[in-house]
């Protein structure tokens, strides 16, 4: 039951979440793929070539980003134009703030005194980009062909100071024609290929294999548990993907999956609890499930490997260029680079608000934790920007040439449910 913008727990309903000692076992949905699996985040960072950025010096930059962004927004006001991370030849992180128009020297010095490494002058403010993002997305929502949208997603790329408008390669010229005729500023837009709408990958510490089902049904949807939370400073719960529940709301209970991550190989384990606080109706792919009668423990941890747990750190801001790692029940740890942090995607006629990163994913990884290179919570895995229902993890590391995953940032969801806090240790 949801009351206002808070979770209202009915009297007598006790909720908890799982830290179930569980061996990590993986099986690909598409049998026969000879794919390397990384059970630890350190292995995934190394395989992605990102371990060189994971230094104590850079961590200090990341830890201070949220405060610096707040300062920049206050100093530059409507001229604020976004933020991103760059690395120099020695792999040292530089936090950059974009400012629309000429940069006032006094304001820039004030920002530098606050620890910002660099201020970049760009053409468009973030407010202008965001306003045009909304207008373009809404303009194309009713333009469909062969039963699917003409434009699949519209994102903001802070670093290049443009909107990313995506559709099939065969449609890009027509999309450009429609944009020009509608009077949009093409200098603000970069057209990108996205061959199909996102595939939401359906499959308890963060990373525990779970399934949606109910007492009376053998039906099931396979997912991965995300982050443990605490509600009203009393009641424990776990966040996972709302689409593990939303397509078939009859499957309103969560169980352990004691088998592998294929429907035929999954095994329905003990009941964990019911779903509530569904973000799907408001375009947020996040939902909480509880644990009836406090049966299971619930630490602020995620799986770091086989029966190894890593402590979760507090929520961090999403910054383009930062390191992102996700953990899924099928593909284990995968790491990549933060891309868009504010992207509108269309999915079966519905608008969903996602962040994007260059990690791969498959059916079953949905709901798993997404963290920064320093283990700060960022969001929960949702799916892949690909027309391939098998996902983007191929027989070699990384899968597609440049896999692009979508994940639900936690900050917007937690802003709606203000009495929910990520559990950290």
Domains annotated on the chain, with CATH: 13-50+199-422 (2.40.10.10), 53-122 (3.30.300.50)
Q: Give the pLDDT of residue 137.
A: 92
Quick one: tokens of 47?
């395989």
Q: Give the pLDDT of residue 189.
A: 96
Residue with tokens 């593990």: 244
Q: Report the b/e string of 184-204 with b at 16+ CB within 10 A.
A: beeebbebbebeebbbbbbbb
Q: What whole-number distance in Å separates Cα of residue 108 and Cα of residue 116?
A: 9
Tell me if 56 sits within 8 A of 335, measured CB to CB. no
Tell me if 302 sits within 8 A of 206, measured CB to CB. yes
Q: What whole-number distance in Å separates Cα of residue 178 and Cα of residue 150?
A: 10
Quick one: tokens of 393?
């993890």
Residues 6+ positions from 319 with CB-CB distance below 8 Å: 65, 83, 84, 85, 95, 338, 341
What is the band of 259 on the pLDDT scale with cuts at 50, 70, 90?
Answer: confident
Is the confidence at residue 120, as pLDDT, over 50? yes
Q: Which of 45, 23, 20, 24 is nearest to 365 (CA)?
A: 24
Comparing 192-196, 226-230, 393-397, the range with the smallest average pLDDT is 393-397
Q: Could you tell me what percent of the chain has a pLDDT over 70?
A: 79
> Which residues share a beta bridge with 380?
369, 408
What is the band of 361 on the pLDDT scale with cuts at 50, 70, 90?
Answer: confident
Residues 6+ positions from 113 with CB-CB distance below 8 Å: none
Q: Could you tell me what percent of the chain has a pLDDT over 90?
A: 32
What is the band of 376 on the pLDDT scale with cuts at 50, 70, 90?
Answer: very high
Q: Give the pLDDT of residue 35.
A: 57
Neighbours of 99 (CB within 10 A): 23
Q: Give the pLDDT of residue 72.
A: 87
Tell me if 324 sits within 8 A of 357, measured CB to CB. yes
What is the band of 102 on the pLDDT scale with cuts at 50, 70, 90?
Answer: confident
Is the confidence at residue 169, as pLDDT, over 80? yes
What is the band of 76 on the pLDDT scale with cuts at 50, 70, 90?
Answer: confident
Quick one: tokens of 182?
């509608």
The stretch 377-387 carries a mean pLDDT of: 87
Quick one: tokens of 5?
């913008």
Is the confidence at residue 366, as pLDDT, over 50? yes
Is the confidence at residue 116, as pLDDT, over 80? no
| Residue 391 φ/ψ, nearest 5 degrees | 95, -165
Helix and strand element counts for the chain (H, E): 7, 28
> Which residues share a beta bridge with 354?
343
> Which residues share a beta bridge with 405?
357, 384
Is the confidence at residue 213, as pLDDT, over 50? yes
Residue scoring higher pLDDT (95 or 310): 95
Tell me if 152 sits within 8 A of 194, measured CB to CB. yes
Q: What whole-number distance in Å separates Cα of residue 137 and Cα of residue 152?
A: 9
From residue 215, give the alpha-carbon distance in Å to each of 22, 271, 275, 277.
23, 9, 14, 21
Q: Give the pLDDT of residue 305.
A: 67
Q: Give the pLDDT of residue 220.
A: 79
Q: What whole-number distance in Å separates Cα of residue 11 and Cα of residue 399?
A: 48
Neighbours of 405 (CB within 10 A): 31
Q: Which of 171, 172, 154 is nearest to 163 (CA)?
A: 154
Q: Give the pLDDT of residue 148.
A: 76
Q: Give the pLDDT of residue 413.
A: 95
Q: Give the pLDDT of residue 157.
A: 94
Q: Give the pLDDT of residue 323.
A: 93
The stretch 393-403 carries a mean pLDDT of: 54
Residues 6+ positions from 247 with CB-CB distance below 8 Å: 202, 221
Residue scoring higher pLDDT (373 or 117): 373
What is the band of 5 on the pLDDT scale with cuts at 50, 70, 90?
Answer: very low
10-58, pLDDT tens digit by residue?
322 222 233 333 322 233 333 334 456 677 888 888 888 888 988 888 8
Q: What is the DSSP string of 312-363?
A: PBPP----BT-EEEEEETTTEEEEEEB--SSEEEEETTEEEEEEEES----T
Residue 110, H or E segment: helix 105-113
What is the band of 117 on the pLDDT scale with cuts at 50, 70, 90?
Answer: low
| Residue 265 φ/ψ, nearest 5 degrees | -100, -5
């Amino acid at each position: 039951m949801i009351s206002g913008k808070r979770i209202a727990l009915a009297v007598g309903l006790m909720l908890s979440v799982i830290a179930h000692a569980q061996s990590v076992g993986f099986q690909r949905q598409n049998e026969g793929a000879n794919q390397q699996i990384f059970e630890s985040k350190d292995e995934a960072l190394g395989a992605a070539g990102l371990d060189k950025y994971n230094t104590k010096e850079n961590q200090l930059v990341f830890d201070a980003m949220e405060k610096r962004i707040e300062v920049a927004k206050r100093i530059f006001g409507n001229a604020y134009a976004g933020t991103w991370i760059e690395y120099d030849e020695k792999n040292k992180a530089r936090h950059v703030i974009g400012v629309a128009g000429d940069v006032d020297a006094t304001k820039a010095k004030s920002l530098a005194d606050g620890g910002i490494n660099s201020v970049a002058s760009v053409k468009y403010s973030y407010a202008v980009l965001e306003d045009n993002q909304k207008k373009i997305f809404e303009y194309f929502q009713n333009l469909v062909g062969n039963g699917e949208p003409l434009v699949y997603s519209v994102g903001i790329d802070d670093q290049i100071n443009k909107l990313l408008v995506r559709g099939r390669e065969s449609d890009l010229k027509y999309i450009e024609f429609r944009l020009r005729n509608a009077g949009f500023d093409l200098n603000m837009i970069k057209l990108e290929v996205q061959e199909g709408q996102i595939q939401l990958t359906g499959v308890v510490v963060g990373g525990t294999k779970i399934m949606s089902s109910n007492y009376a049904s053998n039906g099931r949807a396979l997912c991965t548990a995300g982050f443990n939370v605490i509600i009203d400073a009393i009641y424990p719960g776990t966040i996972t993907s709302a689409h593990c529940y939303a397509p078939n709301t009859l499957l309103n209970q969560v169980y352990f999956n004691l088998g592998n991550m294929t429907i035929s190989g999954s095994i329905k384990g003990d009941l964990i609890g019911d779903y509530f606080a569904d973000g799907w109706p408001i375009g947020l792919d996040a939902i909480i499930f509880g644990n009836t009668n406090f049966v299971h423990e619930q630490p602020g941890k995620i799986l770091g490997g086989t029966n190894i747990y890593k402590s979760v750190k507090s929520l961090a801001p999403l910054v383009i260029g930062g390191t992102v790692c996700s953990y899924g029940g099928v593909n284990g740890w995968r790491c990549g680079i933060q891309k868009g942090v504010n992207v509108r995607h269309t999915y079966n006629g519905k608008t969903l608000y996602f962040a994007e990163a260059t990690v791969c994913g498959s059916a079953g990884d949905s709901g798993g934790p997404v963290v920064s290179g320093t283990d700060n919570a960022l969001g929960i895995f949702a799916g892949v920007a690909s027309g391939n229902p098998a996902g983007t993890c191929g027989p070699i590391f990384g899968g597609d040439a440049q896999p692009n995953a979508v994940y639900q940032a936690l900050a917007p969801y937690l802003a709606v449910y203000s009495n929910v806090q990520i559990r950290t240790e």
